[in-house]
């Protein structure tokens, strides 16, 4: 069975601090996708990134970066120089390749104060 664990329930930082959100996953599949979604107070889940299990290259997109380590089954998300607009709940998710049902973690609430 697939499982996604986000151990951090809530993180509070001050604007401009860097913050890392942890994600650990379990799967018996050798090929799978990992995702991060952002859920702002409005409630709509917004897709941030999808990584294939064969691609362990780290990715950077502006202030966002992702560190995928298959050896530790982790897919961590770092926000550099956080901003108040980054305040949201962030979900890590997992799916089998070719079968798009996502298994979500419980989410990490990030609060960025001015």
Partner 1 sequence: EAGVAQSPRYKIIEKRQSVAFWCNPISGHATLYWYQQILGQGPKLLIQFQNNGVVDDSQLPKDRFSAERLKGVDSTLKIQPAKLEDSAVYLCASSPILAGVPTGELFFGEGSRLTVL
Q: Which of 3, 63, 70, 106 binds partner 1 (CB under 8 A)?
A: 106
DSSP state of 98: T
User: Which two tokens mark 66?
Assistant: 């992702």
Asked if residue 25 binds partner 1 (CB under 8 A), the reply is no
Instruction: Please list every residue from 47 through 86 that binds partner 1, using CB under 8 A.
Output: 47, 50
Smallest distance from partner 1 to CB 15, Å: 25
Neighbours of 91 (CB within 10 A): 22
1 binds partner 1 (CB under 8 A): no
Pairing outcome for strands 10-14 and 108-113: parallel
In the complex with partner 1, the residue whose CB is nearer, 5 or 67, is 5
Residue 78: phi and psi, rounded to 5, are -115, 135
Q: Do the beta carbons of residue 84 and residue 112 sit within 8 Å?
A: yes
114 secondary structure, DSSP code: -
Note whether 41 binds partner 1 by CB under 8 A.
no
Considering beta carbons, is residue 27 or 103 the nearer one to partner 1? 103
Using CB under 8 A, which of the segments 19-27, 57-65, 74-82, 91-99 binds partner 1? 91-99
Classify 14 as helix, strand or coil: strand
Positions that interact with partner 1 (CB under 8 A): 4, 33, 35, 37, 42-47, 50, 91, 93, 95, 97-107
């Amino acid at each position: 069975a697939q499982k996604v664990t986000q151990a951090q329930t809530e993180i509070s930082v001050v604007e401009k601090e860097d913050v890392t959100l942890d994600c650990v996953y379990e799967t018996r599949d050798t090929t799978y996708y990992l995702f991060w979604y952002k859920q702002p107070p409005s409630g709509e889940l917004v897709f941030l990134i999808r990584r294939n299990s064969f691609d362990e290259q780290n990715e950077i997109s502006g202030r966002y970066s992702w560190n995928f380590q298959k050896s530790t089954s982790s897919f961590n998300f770092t926000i550099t120089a956080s901003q108040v607009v980054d305040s949201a709940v962030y979900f890590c998710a997992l799916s089998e390749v070719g079968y798009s049902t996502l298994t979500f973690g419980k989410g990490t609430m990030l609060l960025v104060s001015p």
